[in-house]
Chain A
């Protein structure tokens, strides 16, 4: 017998036909379960009432992780002789290979696990990571998929979690704050304009009436900057809501006889 073969054969258990079939069955079942989770739950989230959607979507990555962990816990003891020496050899070998070849991939995998429990983002959240802003569509093991307002899908590795700031606009809630800006000529009745912009928000059917409406104003050298802040019922309507507020606001301000400001290009955000 070759002495170098002895430790390797003692690490792995002999696998007979029955065990092999069982392992194949477990892997197949795990694959079917993951597929079902990734297909059924998003469909269910679209047909149930809107207020339940934010509870169903975040469960998808958690359930998938549970299936994978359960599969590994079932299959590993059937393949590996769990002696301390064997585990040390296996982990050492795996660590060496992964460390060199899959450093970034593993960083993203570990960040993905951390993201599930720290929840910097979850499916249904509107987040800004780097230059990308959009709704988190799904969270995979290595990356998340984001859909931008222009219907572009952006895939972002979880490893960004270690270094980038993540701006989450709704953090699991159904709504988020929307802000609309108006730039007005300085000669106007500010109290009347503030009241009118407040009414503009109250009259939009997109508005979540249970959330506050705020009008903030700031005097600038070229005029007055008004910022109308309000919450739509559903975060997915944020763009239609902002458009509606802008249209209503422009019409109302025109009726008040308020002139828009001539804002210098350098002063624009």
Chain B
């Protein structure tokens, strides 16, 4: 039986986890649970047992696995996946793209990324306008995925809520849900038994449970450290953000703990102790006070569109090419944005602070 509390660790002995160890204790999230939740909520509607509306939308926070889950759900049910239009198709008004979709002959469809069907440009709205007029009227069911920032923008500009009423969204993760999910991830990751403790309090936060049956909802053991409560609030209940901040907070000690020494001397396999930095010491990336307006424009554009290339940002924003590239470099250095292939996006760990910064300056923000 693991002790609930042990002595706090010397902060000077803590180092960041190596990539291999991090993957062993906090590996990549999977979409099976999300797909199952979609099936539970939408099964009756998808099979036609429920009445209208014919088109429904799932609104998700940035860095949420919902789009991937929608793709998996569509493949499981044999629904047609609609590919988003190219930039050229968007800027040309989208008549040809809509005509191509119309040939789907009443098949049930999934459009995972509505935010990739428009650009915030005078030539970039007509396609989405036509799409929002066409979707509710087409024969067959359509399930649309949209990030919350794009949803807020389309609602303010194109009246998206009239075309796709009653949006659905995932419930936010509270501390108990995070504990259950992290334990499931931990048990599914390749690695030995692991114990997570607060580095300042020594209190237990999480422990692996390899080989044991999954813990029932509501039956999770109460952690004695409040880190997960802070994490749920600080990440706004967004699973992808919480997961990134969780990985950011993990440390390993260069010294073994008394418990590990005792277990080693008794010949038992030692559980790996991972130390979790206190919430107040995490130093998550955040825009500084007095952030430039050009930087706020970049944040908002990236969040509305779910990531953009530098060339597209150059087209959309009133910032000169050289200043734009300088700004992108600076924001990357501050860990506020990162590159994902050709696209830039706001980092998961910076998302809560970036969102709050835009709210403070009265920018339009996503509800999630």
The interface of chain A, by Cβ under 8 A from chain B, is 46-47, 49-51, 174, 196, 199-200, 202-206, 208-210, 233-234, 237, 240, 243-244, 247-248, 251-252, 255
Contact = CB atoms under 8 A, between A and B. Distances in A.
Given A46-B290, A47-B290, A200 B362 contact: no
B124 interface: yes
Interface of B: 120-125, 153, 156-157, 289-290, 293, 297, 300-301, 316-318, 360-364
Contacts of B297: 205
B111 to A, nearest CB: 22
A251 B153 CA distance: 23
A255 B93 CA distance: 12
Contacts of B125: 199, 202-203
Contacts of B364: 209-210
Given A49-B361, A199-B122, A205 B318 contact: yes
A209 B120 contact: no
Contacts, number: 56
Contacts of A204: 318
Given A200-B122, A203-B124, A209-B157, A233 B362 contact: yes
Contacts of B301: 205
A50 B362 contact: yes
Given A50-B361, A50-B362, A203 B121 contact: yes
Contacts of B362: 50-51, 174, 208, 233
B173 to A, nearest CB: 28
B156 A209 contact: yes
A252 B300 contact: no
Given A47-B289, A205-B300, A247 B361 contact: no
Contacts of B156: 209-210
B14 to A, nearest CB: 34
Sorted from nearest, which 8 A-B pairs have the closest CB atoms?
A: A49-B360, A252-B122, A205-B297, A209-B156, A244-B318, A209-B364, A202-B157, A200-B122
B315 to A, nearest CB: 11
Given A203-B122, A252-B123, A233 B363 contact: yes
Nearest to A52: B360
Contacts of B157: 202, 209
Nearest to B319: A205
Contacts of A200: 122
Contact of A205 (B122, B124, B289, B317): B317
Contact of A196 (B122, B290, B317, B363): B122
A245 to B, nearest CB: 10
B361 A203 contact: no
Given A196-B122, A203-B125, A209-B153, A51 B318 contact: no
A32 to B, nearest CB: 27
Contacts of A208: 362
Contacts of A209: 153, 156-157, 364
Nearest to B157: A202
Contacts of A206: 318
A52 B32 CA distance: 45
Nearest to B360: A49
Contacts of B153: 209
10 contacts: A47-B290, A49-B360, A202-B125, A203-B122, A203-B316, A205-B300, A205-B316, A205-B317, A243-B318, A255-B123
Contacts of B360: 49-51
A244 B318 CA distance: 7
Contacts of B289: 47
A174 B362 CA distance: 10
Contacts of A237: 293
